[in-house]
């Protein structure tokens, strides 16, 4: 295949698909900056989470987002909040998501009971919010802590409640602890359950926390959790590599005041390749596996390709991010493997970290 760049040593695959991304609006990450960041990261398709301000839980807010993201080069899909008037289907709606929305057990039961549309995907940020704690037990910092088992209990609570009230398809978001892996392993035997992990939970543990950019929800686990997550990706218990790209232009240094989240869509592939060192595995879990969760096929086409250089190494510099989110715990970290070019719908859209203008004739491959 003819490429507008030297392709020796590069490897091409289906563009990446991210099941877990946040857009902010209101002066934060908007659709322009998020699209640019996604193109640099090698992504064609993103599933946006509903915890925007206001949340995506009414037809009016959903329509606002749909209108902002229509006709773009990146495909924006939506997992909408189940706690409002929306049902989990419609134009570019792929299901419900509880991500970033605080709820308790009674509200979960009431919501699952009353939703009419049950044969849709339920993306779950699994957390028992009844219990405070910004970090996990064991974290060497003097702040409120929650048990590492909190998430596992919430996973079980969601899936069992969902099954009882007629839901059948669950995707557990950003799994973090050995407890959750045990529960998911059990649940996979009795229900349609998939799960994902984030770049930061595979790379860091709570001993690594240096500043408020390391404050994420769910929090970083122990080194044992981290090892178990890597192992679970390798043996297939963890289906999908997502980014949980949660951009903030700047975070206060105060751990208690800082919002949760780390920006990572531009470097997600490199983090995963650095940790796992297996190109085929990373490709599968960033393309085929997330497409399968969405119930889509992912046939390889010469019109849609991402090229990566597995040998390249670089040091992350958040100042170079296209994202407005400068809150990355990977700033200054050396990574292996780089996304070099992206072609979408037959057009080269990104080359060497720069987004190309629409219809750039001289670079048509
Ligand atoms: Zn979440």
For 205, residues 6+ apart whose C-beta sits below 8 A from its C-beta are 220, 221, 222, 223, 225, 226
Position 279 scores a pLDDT of 98
Position 358 scores a pLDDT of 81
- Asked if pLDDT for residue 363 goes beyond 60, the answer is no
**What is the per-residue pLDDT across 85-118, written as a single tens digit (0 to 9) for each?**
999 999 999 999 999 999 999 999 999 999 999 9
Cis status of the peptide bond prior to 218, with omega within 30 of 0: yes
- Asked if pLDDT for residue 365 goes beyond 70, the answer is no
Ligand 1 centroid to residue 265 C-alpha, Å: 15
Provide the greatest CA pair distance for the chain.
59
Average pLDDT over residues 325-333: 97
Ligand 1 centroid to residue 73 C-alpha, Å: 26
- Asked if pLDDT for residue 360 goes beyond 80, the answer is no
Ligand 1 centroid to residue 259 C-alpha, Å: 12
Residue among 3, 77, 111 at smallest CA distance from 293: 77
Least confident span in 44-48, 78-82, 361-365: 361-365
What residue spans define the domains of the chain? 11-363
Percentages helix, strand, coil for the chain (3-state, rounded to 5) are 30, 20, 50
Mean pLDDT rounded to a whole number for the chain: 96
Distance from C-alpha of 10 to C-alpha of 26, rounded to nearest angstrom: 39
Q: What's the number of CA atoms in the CB half-sphere (13 Å) around residue 71? A: 3
Residue 122 phi/psi, 5° resolution? -115, 105
Q: Is 303 a catalytic residue?
A: no
Ligand 1 centroid to residue 201 C-alpha, Å: 12
- Active-site residue (options: 244, 254, 303, 352): 244
Give the SS3 label for residue 126. Answer: coil
Ligand 1 centroid to residue 174 C-alpha, Å: 7
Ligand 1 centroid to residue 216 C-alpha, Å: 9
Ligand 1 centroid to residue 188 C-alpha, Å: 21
Position 116 scores a pLDDT of 94
pTM: 0.96
Distance from C-alpha of 46 to C-alpha of 34, rounded to nearest angstrom: 10
Distance from C-alpha of 268 to C-alpha of 18, rounded to nearest angstrom: 10
By percentage, how much of the chain surpasses pLDDT 90?
Answer: 93
Ligand 1 centroid to residue 173 C-alpha, Å: 7
Distance (Å) of CA 37 to CA 23, 174, 251: 11, 21, 19
In a 10 Å sphere around its CB, with 0-12 CB exposed, 13-18 middle and 19+ buried, how is residue 278 labelled? middle
Position 120 scores a pLDDT of 97
**What is the per-residue pLDDT across 130-165, written as a single tens digit (0 to 9) for each?**
998 999 999 999 999 999 999 999 999 999 999 999
Average pLDDT over residues 114-123: 96
- Asked if pLDDT for residue 364 goes beyond 50, the answer is no
Are the beta carbons of 137 and 148 closer than 8 angstroms?
yes
In a 10 Å sphere around its CB, with 0-12 CB exposed, 13-18 middle and 19+ buried, how is residue 346 labelled? exposed
As its CATH architecture, domain 11-363 has: Alpha-Beta Barrel (3.20)
- Asked if pLDDT for residue 281 goes beyond 90, the answer is yes
Ligand 1 centroid to residue 175 C-alpha, Å: 10
């Amino acid at each position: 295949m003819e490429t507008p760049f030297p392709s020796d040593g590069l490897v091409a695959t289906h563009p990446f698909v991210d099941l877990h991304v946040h857009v902010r609006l209101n002066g934060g990450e908007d659709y322009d900056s998020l699209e640019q960041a996604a193109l640099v990261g090698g992504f064609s398709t993103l599933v946006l989470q509903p915890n925007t301000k206001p949340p995506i839980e009414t037809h009016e807010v959903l329509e606002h987002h749909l209108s902002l993201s229509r006709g773009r080069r990146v495909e924006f899909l939506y997992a909408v909040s189940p706690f409002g008037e929306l049902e989990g289907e419609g134009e570019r709606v792929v299901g419900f998501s509880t991500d970033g929305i605080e709820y308790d057990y009674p509200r979960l039961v009431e919501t699952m009971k009353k939703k009419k549309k049950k044969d849709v995907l339920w993306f779950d940020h699994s957390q028992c919010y009844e219990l405070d704690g910004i970090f996990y037990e064991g974290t060497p910092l003097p702040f409120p802590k929650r048990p590492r088992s909190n998430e596992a209990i919430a996973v079980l609570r969601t899936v069992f409640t969902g099954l009882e009230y007629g839901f059948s398809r669950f995707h557990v978001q950003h799994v973090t602890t050995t407890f959750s892996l045990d529960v998911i392993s059990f649940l996979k035997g009795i229900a349609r359950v998939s799960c994902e992990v984030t770049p930061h939970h595979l790379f860091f543990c709570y001993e690594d926390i240096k500043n408020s950019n390391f404050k994420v929800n769910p929090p970083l686990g122990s080194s044992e959790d981290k090892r178990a997550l890597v192992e679970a990706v390798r043996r297939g218990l963890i289906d999908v590599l997502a980014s949980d790209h949660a951009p903030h232009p700047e975070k206060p240094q105060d751990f208690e005041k800082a919002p949760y989240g780390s920006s990572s869509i531009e470097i997600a592939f490199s983090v995963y390749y650095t940790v796992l060192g297996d190109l085929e595995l990373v490709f599968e879990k960033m393309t085929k596996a997330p497409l399968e969760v969405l119930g889509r096929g992912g046939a390889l086409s010469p019109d849609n390709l991402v090229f990566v250089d597995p040998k390249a190494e670089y040091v992350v510099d958040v100042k170079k991010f296209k994202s407005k989110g400068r809150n990355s715990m990977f700033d200054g970290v050396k990574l292996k493997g780089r996304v070099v070019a992206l072609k979408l719908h037959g057009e080269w859209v990104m080359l060497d970290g720069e987004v190309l203008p629409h219809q750039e004739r001289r670079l048509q491959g």
